[in-house]
Amino acid sequence: MDKSNLKRGSKTSYEEFLEMCDEDTLAEWVDGEIEWYSPASSRHQLLADWLTSVLRIYVETRGSGVVISAPFQMKTGRDLPGREPDIIFLRKENLGLLKETHIEGPSDLAVEIVSEESLLRDRGEKFAEYEIGGVKEYWILDPELKRADFFVLKEGRYERRVEDGQGIYHAEVIHDFWIKVRWLWDLPPVLDVLRELGLI
């Protein structure tokens, strides 16, 4: 993105922001202003890559939709910010929301991996925006604290969901998908996980 013509406090439209974005852009659009953020840590990126691999292979094998990893924009509503979740899942029946440069509407699943600088944003601003915007399931993963919070949208409000007695969380929006929460911190080989999921 060319930052040279951007002045602090200057306003830009979401369409102008998208035109300036490229695959290296680390920013989100909020109320006409561009919010820049820091590159991900290795712990953050390893978890993001691992989970993206597991989810993508699962949904492609089942033909249930698409998984998109950051950087890719999601604009859940006209009056809501343009955000960049770490991982997005769109069901097959909602692929019409997928545009060339962004998702025009709420994803079925948004995953945010917490970093020190994103903690308040992920648990505060984005939580409220994704709830209002209609994101059906929202995962907040904190590899530092080894804490996973899962929320499902019911009648316009997020309800917290937890893993079962065996430490397994069953996703709401990805049919028959489940995950052992400890996998998120241990990052076992993807092929081993796929075997447990019955894909290979």
Regarding the domain with residue range 41-196, which homologous superfamily does it belong to in the CATH classification?
A: tt1808, chain A (3.90.1570.10)
For 1-10, the pLDDT digits (tens) are 444 444 445 6
Contact 64/177 with Cβ under 8 angstroms? no
Q: Where do the structural domains in the chain lie, given as residue ranges?
A: 41-196
User: In angstroms, rounded to a whole number, what is the distance separating the alpha carbons of residues 38 and 151?
Assistant: 26
Average pLDDT of the residues in 176-194: 97
Taking the model in full, what pTM does it have? 0.80
User: In angstroms, rounded to a whole number, what is the distance separating the alpha carbons of residues 111 and 88?
Assistant: 6
For 74-93, the pLDDT digits (tens) are 998 888 888 899 999 999 99
Query: Angle 131-136-141 (CA atoms, 0-180°, nearest 5)?
Result: 80
